[in-house]
Structure 1
Amino acid sequence: MGPRIGPAQMPEKETKATMGTEDTPGGKASPDAQDSRPSVFHSIKLFVLCHSLLQLAQLMISGYLKSSISTVEKRFGLSSQTSGLLAAFNEVGNTALIVFVSYFGSRVHRPRLIGCGAVLVALAGLLMTLPHFISEPYRYDHTSPEDMPQDFKVSLCLPTTSAPTPDPSNGSCSSYTEARHLTVVGIMFMAQTLLGVGGVPIQPFGISYIDDFAHNSNSPLYLGILFAVTTMGPGMAYGLGGLMLRLYVDIDRMPEGGISLTTKDPRWVGAWWLGFLISAGLVALAATPYFFFPREMPKEKHELHFRRKVLAVASSPVSKGKDPVSEQSPGESPKKQDGLAEVAPDLTVIQFIKVFPRVLLRTLRHPIFLLVVLSQVCVSSMVAGMAIFLPKFLERQFSVTASHANLLIGCLSFPLAIVGMVVGGALVKRLHLGPMRCSILCLLGALFCLLLGLPLFFMGCPTHQIAGILHQPTQPGPGLFPGCMKPCSCPSDDFNPVCDPSTHVEYITPCHAGCRSRVAQEALDKSQVFYTNCSCVVGGGPLPAGSCDSACSHLVLPFMLLVSLGAALACVTHTPSVMLILRGVKKEDKTLALGIQFMLMRVLAWMPSPVIHGSAIDTTCVHWAQRCGHRAVCRYYNHDLLRNRFIGLQFFFKTGSLVCFALVLAILRQQDKEAGTKATTCSSGLEQQLLLSGPEKKPEDSRV
C-alpha cells in the first residue's frame, strides 16, 4: 500500500531530460542561457574521473582504521575483541540499507545522492578524530603526577613511593573518567556506523550512472578504469597509516619537556587521528562536483578514439562475435520481463519487501550458487581478519613498529592481490573457460593458497622472557635474588619496560628490576634512557629503556611474501567464482543474485570475522593492563599461541573454501554425466524408432 515509485514518474523524467537537451545544443536558445549552463558537467568522462577519485578516497578512509587498529587499542585501552567489533560496525549501516538502494535504482537524483553520501562519509571521518581532541593528553606513564615529567622517578625503586602511588590510580577511576571513556568509545562506534551508511549509495549509483549514459562499447572500459583506480585505496590507506604513525599522537600539544619515547617503544602511540583528518578532507573535495552533475545527461554518442583504432586493427571475426550480443539484447527483454529485475519498477516499497524473501529462498536453492557464495564467505572472512589484525600480528610477533608493518602490507599484499584479480579475469577471458573449467581454476587457486599457508605456522619468534610473567628460573633475575624487590613497593599498574641485554630478560618497569637511578644520554636528535643500580640484575645494569629486540625480526619479509602470494592466489578465484554465480542462476535472477551474494558476504564474513579474530587474539594474552578493576589493553602475548591461533583461523577458512569448490566441481561433473546419459538415451531411442520403422520403409525405397 506504499507510494508507487516507478512508471508514474517516468514521463516527468523524460520531459526534464528532453528540456535539458533541447536547450543547450539548439541554436534557438540565447547565448547567455547557454553560457550559464556548465556544459563540462554533462561529460560522462568527467564523471568517471570524479567517481574514481571519490571511491579511492572513500576506501582510504574506511581502510585507515584497519591500519591503526593496534594504536587505537593502546590509546584508549581496548581489547582486540572490542576493536574488531569497532571495525565491523562499518558494515552494519551498509548492510541495513544496501537492499533499498538496489531497489531505488535510477528513480532518484543519483549524482546528488552520491554527493550527500560522500559528505556523510567525510563527517564520519571528522567524527572519528573527535576522541583525540576531547581526551586528555596521552600519558604513557600513568603513575607519575601531573606536574612531574613522565617516567622520571615514579618508575624507580624508591621506598618513599609506597604511600602516594595508589592516589593517581584511584583518581583515574572516578565516575567522570569512566563516563568520558565510554563517551569516547561510543563516538567511534557511531562514526563507523555513519561511515557505512554514507558509503551505501556511492558505488552502486556510480556504476549504474556510468552504464546508463556511456557509449555501449565504452562502458566496460570506464568501469575497468574505475575498479583499477579504486583498488589502490586500501593500499594507500596502509601507506598513509605507515606515515602518520611515525608521528607522536599529541603532536598538536607536545609537553614542555618533550618525550623520551622512540617508535620502537611498546608505549609509543602514533598520530592515528591525523590520517582520518586527511582522508576526510580528500572525500569532501571529491564530493563537491557531484552537486553539479545533472540527473540525466545525453548518452555518449561516439566511441573512444583509441578504441576505434584497436578495433580497426583487430580482425573482422571479433566484431562479428560482438554483434550477436547487441542483437540479442532486444530479444531478451521480453523474457526478462517475467523476472523480478524487470517487475521491480512496478512494485511499491511494501510489495518489494514482501517479494524479496521469496526470491532469496529461490536463489539459495541453487546448489552451485550456495556453494560458491559459501566459498566466497570463507575467503572474505580470511581477508577481513588479515586486513584488520595483520599489522598488530606483525608488531607483536616480529617486534616491528606499526609504521613498518603498515608499509609492508601496503607495498606487498595489496599490489599482489590486484595482480591476482587481473590474472583471474584474463584467464577466464583468454581461455574461454566454461563452468567446469572455472571451478577447476577456483579449486587450484584455493589449494595452492592453502599450501602456501602451511609454512606460516613455523615462521615466528619465541615469546620474550618477562620477569614475573614468563620467566625461566634457570636464567638470572628475580629468581636468584628473592628479596631484591621488597623495599621497592612497585606500582602494580605501571608499564615502563626495560631489557637486560645480557640475559634477554624483560622487566615490566625499572622498579621491578630494582633500579634506583636514571641516566639520559643525548645522541644526535634522539635521547636514550638507561637505568642503573638495579638490584635484581647481575652487575647492577645499566638497562636500556624499551622492550628487548627480537632475534628473528628478519623473518618478517619472507612471512609477508608468503602471505601476499597466498592473497594473490585467493584473488585469482574472484572472477571465475562470479562467472559460476552468473551461470548458475536463471537469467532473470542474475542482478538480484549478485546483490544477495554481496549481502551474504557482509553478514556472514565482514561483520563476524573481525570479532572472531579479535576474540582468538585475546585468548593468547598473558598480561593485561588494568583500568579501574577491568582489563583494558593486552601488554604481552604468548607468541606461539598467537601465531598458531591466528594462522589456524586462516587455515580453517582456506580449507572451507577448498571444500566448497571441490563440491562445486563434483556437482558440475554429476550434471555433465546426467546430461550425457540423457543425450545417449535420446539418441538410442531415436535409433530404435528408426530401426522399427526401417523394414516398413524398405519396399518404398526399392520402388523409388
Structure 2
Amino acid sequence: MSDPETEIKMSSKPASKSQAEPVQKRLCSNLFLSVKFFVLCHSLLQLAQLMISGYLKSSISTIEKRFGLSSQTSGLLAAFNEVGNTTLIVFVSYFGSRVHRPRLIGLGAVLVAVAGLLMSLPHFIAEPYHYDHVDLDLSQDSASSLCMLPQAPALALVSAAVPTPSNSSCALYTEVRQVVVVGLMFLAQTLLGVGAVPIQPFGISYIDDFAHPNNSPLYLGILFAVTLVGPGLAYGLGGLMLRFYVDIDRMPEGGISLTPKDPRWVGAWWLGFLVSAGAVTLTALPYFFFPREMPKEKQELGFQKQILPSLDDKGESSLMKQGTDNSPEKEKDGESQIAPDLTMIQFIKTFPQVLLQNLRHPIFLLVVLAQVNMTSMVAGMATFLPKFLERQFSVTASFANLLIGSISIPAAMLGIMIGGVLVHRLHLGPTRCATVSILGSLICMVFGLPLFFMGCPTHPIANVYGPSSLLENEDFLNCTQLCSCSKSNFNPVCDTWSRTEYVTPCQAGCTGMQGDPGPGQGPIIYTNCSCLISGVRGSSVTSGSCESPCSHLLLSFILLISLGAAVASITHTPSFMLILRGVKNEDKSLAVGIQFMLMRVLAWMPSPVIHGIAIDTACVFWADTCGMRSLCRYYDHTVLRHRFIGLQFFYKLGTLVCFTLVFIILRQQEKEAACSGSQHGSVSQEEKLILSSEKRSGESIV
C-alpha cells in the first residue's frame, strides 16, 4: 500500500501544462456553446454598431462647416447608409439559416469597422482647417480680416501681400475637398449599411433557434434594452469629441484663438469614428469562434416565471405561444416559409408577390404608414436637432449633443418600456392598442405646438439680414468698399451696443485689435471701427456672433422635445403588436421584414434629405467658395423654426390620421364579428375578428 501522505502530496501537485490546456480548451468551447454568452456578445456588438451609425448625426453640423456642405448634402450623407442596407436586406430572408450566421455577423461587423475608419480618413487627406477664411493661400491669423484703408501705408503693404487665389487653385480646391473627400464619406456610409445587414436579423434568429422557447423573449428583451443605449452613447461621444479642436493632431504653432462658442469652431469629429470603429472591432472577434449550430438550450431560467409571468389568452405570452406552438409542417405551408425550397432567382421573382399580398391587408398597411410617419419624424430630429439647437439658442455643438444624449434619448427609451408594460399588464387587444397609439400621437402633437413660438428672430447682420437700413445704408457700403474686404473671409464680430453682427472686422471698419490673447484667453477686441451702422465712430467690437436673447428657453424646449419623444415612443410596442396580429401566423416573420424595409425606403432614406432641404430654404447668407455656393453662414431663425417644427408636426399629423383609420376599421370589424359570432357561439375577440375578415376576403386581417 502507498503512503497516504505521499498520495496527498501527489494530488496537491499542480497539473502539468499538457493537462491544463485541454481544460482551458473545454472551457472556451463550452463558453462559445452558450446562448447566454452569444446574447451578451450580440448586445455589445449592436450597441457599438448603433453608436458608430449614430455618431454621424451627432457631428453633422461640424462636418458641414469643415467641408462646406449644405444641409441637403449632409442629409443625403446621413441617409446613404440605408442604400446598401435596403439593397441587401431582402436576401437575408432568403439565406436564413443556410449560412454560418455567427461568422457572417462577424464579417459584417468588420466591414462596419472599416466603414468607420473610412469616415475618419478625410481628416487625414484634407488640408488643415482654415477658420478665418476659405482661401488656402492666405495666412491664418486674426489680423488677416482687418480693414486695410488706402491712407495707411503700413497696412497697405500687408494688404498687398495677401494673394488672390487663381482659377487653377480654386479648381484644385474644389476637386480635392468637395469631390474626393465627400465621395469617401458617401462610400463609407454605403459600406456601413452593407455591413449592418446581417447583424440584427441573423443575431435574433440565432438566439431564437437555440434558446429555450420560454427564455427567448427575455433574451431578446435584454438585447433590445442594451442596444437602445447605443444612440445615447453616440451623442455623448459626440459631445465629448467636439470639445477638442479638429486639428488637435496638427495644431498650428502658437495654438489657436478660437473657443468652442465661436461660430468658426470645428471639433474633432473624426476621433469619434476611430473610437467607435475600435469598439466594433473588439466586439466582432468572438463571432468567429461560435459554431454554425449550437445545442438547443434545455433548461428554463429559474427566475423567468417571476420576471415574465404568464398572461391569459389576451396577453403577449399567448401570442408568443401561438408563434412557438406552430409545427414545422404548418410553417412550411405559408408563403413566407417557401424560401428554403426556392432558388435565388425564384425567390426574387416570388418576393414581390408576397410583398403585395401583405400590403393588401388594410391594418398592416395603415400601421406601417403610421410607423413610416413616426420614423420620418425621428430621422429628421436625430439628424438635425443638434444643429437646430446651435442656431436657435447659441449653444455649442458639444453641449447640444450632451443634452440630446442625456435627456431626449433616455426619454424615448423610457417611452418604449412604458408601452411594453402597458401591453403586457393591461392585456391590450388590437382595438386598445390602436387607442393607445392614437392617444400617444395626439399628446405628442400637443407637446409640439408650443415649439413653434419658443425662439427669437435673427439678430441684425450688416449687409445680410435685418431692417432695410442695414441693407441699403450708403455710408456703410461706401465705407466697406474703401476697406477692400474679402468676400471669402468669415470672422464674425458683434457690436454689443446695438446687437448688430458683422461678417468680418473689415466690414465693421476695424483697423486695430487689442492683441491676440492666444488659446483659451477669451474673445478678441477689435478697435477703431469706423463703419458701424450705430454711428459711433472709433468704437470696438467683440469677436464671435451675437448671443441669442432666447438662451433661457433652451431647457424648456428640450424638455418639451423629450416629453414628446417619450409619449410618441409609447406607441412603438402597441403598433408592433398590431402588425403581429394583423397577418397570418405563417406570414409574421416576413411581415416584420417588410415593415423594416418600408421604413428604410420611405422614412430613413428620404426624411434627412427633406429636412435638409427645408433647412436650406431658411438660409439668408451662403458662403462663397471660389464662386460656388457651399455652406450656409446665417439663417432666418423664425423661418428655420417654423419649417423644421412644421415638418415634424406634419409627420405627427400623418401618424395620428393612420392610427385613427386603424381604429375605425377595427371597430367596424368588431361589429361584423359580433354579428358573425352569434352564429358561431362564444368566441374571443381575436377569433371574432378573424371570422369576420375570413368571411369578407378569406384572409386573416387582424
Whether TM exceeds 0.5 here: the answer is: yes
Q: CA contact under 8 A between 1:363 and 1:369: conserved in structure 2?
A: yes
Superimposed CA distance per residue, residues 553-579 of structure 1 (whole angstroms, 9 cap, x where no aligned partner): 111111111111111111111111111
Superimposed CA distance per residue, residues 73-123 of structure 1 (whole angstroms, 9 cap, x where no aligned partner): 000000000000001111000001111012211111111111100000000
Q: State the match for 2:602 in structure 1.
A: 604
2:344 alignment partner, one of 334, 341, 349: 349
| 2:142 match: secondary structure | coil
How many Å apart are 1:152 and its aligned residue?
A: 2.0
Whether 1:661 aligns to 2:659 is yes
Letter paired with 1:637: Y
Letter paired with 2:100: H
Q: CA contact under 8 A between 2:101 and 2:292: conserved in structure 1?
A: yes
Name the CA shift for 1:444/1:167 in 2 (closer, same or farther; >3 Å): same
Q: CA contact under 8 A between 2:487 and 2:624: conserved in structure 1?
A: no
Whether 1:518 aligns to 2:516 is no
Q: CA contact under 8 A between 2:52 and 2:277: conserved in structure 1?
A: yes
1:585 alignment partner, one of 583, 586, 609: 583
CA–CA distance in structure 2, aligned partners of residues 347 and 51 of structure 1: 30
Q: State the match for 1:398 in structure 2.
A: 393
How many Å apart are 1:304 and its aligned residue?
A: 2.4
CA–CA distance in structure 2, aligned partners of residues 264 and 482 of structure 1: 29
1:506 alignment partner, one of 488, 501, 509: 501
2:361 alignment partner, one of 356, 361, 366: 366
Q: State the match for 1:545 in structure 2.
A: 543
Q: State the match for 2:207 in structure 1.
A: 210
Q: State the match for 1:281 in structure 2.
A: 278
CA–CA distance in structure 2, aligned partners of residues 550 and 230 of structure 1: 37
Whether 1:269 aligns to 2:260 is no
Whether 1:64 aligns to 2:61 is no
Name the CA shift for 1:498/1:478 in 2 (closer, same or farther; >3 Å): farther
Superimposed CA distance per residue, residues 610-661 of structure 1 (whole angstroms, 9 cap, x where no aligned partner): 1100011101100000122210000000001000000010010000000001
| 1:465 match: secondary structure | coil
CA–CA distance in structure 2, aligned partners of residues 296 and 172 of structure 1: 59
1:173 alignment partner, one of 156, 170, 174: 170
Letter paired with 1:268: W
Structure 1 unaligned segments of length 5 or more: list them: 1-29, 684-704
Q: CA contact under 8 A between 2:257 and 2:519: conserved in structure 1?
A: no
| 1:544 match: secondary structure | strand
CA–CA distance in structure 2, aligned partners of residues 289 and 530 of structure 1: 57
| 1:533 match: secondary structure | strand
1:378 alignment partner, one of 373, 381, 404: 373
CA–CA distance in structure 2, aligned partners of residues 647 and 48 of structure 1: 39
How many Å apart are 1:130 and its aligned residue?
A: 0.6
Name the CA shift for 1:249/1:559 in 2 (closer, same or farther; >3 Å): same
Q: CA contact under 8 A between 2:134 and 2:625: conserved in structure 1?
A: no
How many Å apart are 1:370 and its aligned residue?
A: 0.5
CA–CA distance in structure 1, aligned partners of residues 366 and 73 of structure 2: 31
Q: State the match for 1:256 in structure 2.
A: 253
Letter paired with 1:186: G
Structure 2 unaligned segments of length 5 or more: list them: 1-18, 151-155, 682-702
Letter paired with 1:374: L
1:575 alignment partner, one of 573, 576, 591: 573
Q: State the match for 2:106 in structure 1.
A: 115
Q: CA contact under 8 A between 1:476 and 1:503: conserved in structure 2?
A: no
Q: State the match for 2:92 in structure 1.
A: 101
How many Å apart are 1:145 and its aligned residue?
A: 7.4
How many Å apart are 1:62 and its aligned residue?
A: 0.1
CA–CA distance in structure 2, aligned partners of residues 671 and 308 of structure 1: 35
How many Å apart are 1:429 and its aligned residue?
A: 1.0
CA–CA distance in structure 1, aligned partners of residues 238 and 169 of structure 2: 30
Name the CA shift for 1:635/1:572 in 2 (closer, same or farther; >3 Å): same
Name the CA shift for 1:261/1:300 in 2 (closer, same or farther; >3 Å): same
Q: State the match for 1:292 in structure 2.
A: 289
How many Å apart are 1:297 and its aligned residue?
A: 1.3
Q: CA contact under 8 A between 1:73 and 1:80: conserved in structure 2?
A: yes
Q: CA contact under 8 A between 2:510 and 2:527: conserved in structure 1?
A: yes
How many Å apart are 1:675 and its aligned residue?
A: 2.2
Whether 1:495 aligns to 2:490 is yes
Letter paired with 1:553: S
Name the CA shift for 1:603/1:324 in 2 (closer, same or farther; >3 Å): closer
CA–CA distance in structure 2, aligned partners of residues 524 and 99 of structure 1: 53
CA–CA distance in structure 1, aligned partners of residues 161 and 322 of structure 2: 86
How many Å apart are 1:68 and its aligned residue?
A: 0.2
Q: CA contact under 8 A between 1:213 and 1:297: conserved in structure 2?
A: yes
Name which of structure 1's ranges 495-504 and 32-41 shifts more when overlaid on structure 2. 32-41
TM-score (norm 1): 0.88
Q: State the match for 2:120 in structure 1.
A: 129
CA–CA distance in structure 2, aligned partners of residues 488 and 321 of structure 1: 74
Q: State the match for 2:431 in structure 1.
A: 436
Q: State the match for 2:229 in structure 1.
A: 232
Q: CA contact under 8 A between 2:363 and 2:662: conserved in structure 1?
A: yes
Q: CA contact under 8 A between 1:521 and 1:528: conserved in structure 2?
A: no
Q: % of aligned pairs identical?
A: 67
Letter paired with 2:343: T
Q: State the match for 1:619 in structure 2.
A: 617
CA–CA distance in structure 2, aligned partners of residues 493 and 323 of structure 1: 67
How many Å apart are 1:676 and its aligned residue?
A: 2.7
How many Å apart are 1:486 and its aligned residue?
A: 3.3
2:647 alignment partner, one of 636, 649, 661: 649
Superimposed CA distance per residue, residues 683-703 of structure 1 (whole angstroms, 9 cap, x where no aligned partner): 9xxxxxxxxxxxxxxxxxxxx
| 1:632 match: secondary structure | strand
Q: Number of paired residues? A: 651
Q: State the match for 1:484 in structure 2.
A: 479
CA–CA distance in structure 2, aligned partners of residues 32 and 467 of structure 1: 77
Letter paired with 1:450: M
CA–CA distance in structure 2, aligned partners of residues 502 and 516 of structure 1: 19
1:322-341 alignment to 2 at 5 Å? Answer: 329-330=324-325, 332-341=327-336
Name the CA shift for 1:418/1:331 in 2 (closer, same or farther; >3 Å): closer
Q: State the match for 1:304 in structure 2.
A: 301
Whether 1:413 aligns to 2:413 is no
Name the CA shift for 1:605/1:293 in 2 (closer, same or farther; >3 Å): same
Q: CA contact under 8 A between 1:149 and 1:257: conserved in structure 2?
A: no
CA–CA distance in structure 1, aligned partners of residues 190 and 525 of structure 2: 45
Superimposed CA distance per residue, residues 486-540 of structure 1 (whole angstroms, 9 cap, x where no aligned partner): 3201111111000000000000000000000112364995243110000023142
CA–CA distance in structure 2, aligned partners of residues 593 and 524 of structure 1: 57
TM-score (norm 2): 0.88
How many Å apart are 1:354 and its aligned residue?
A: 1.3
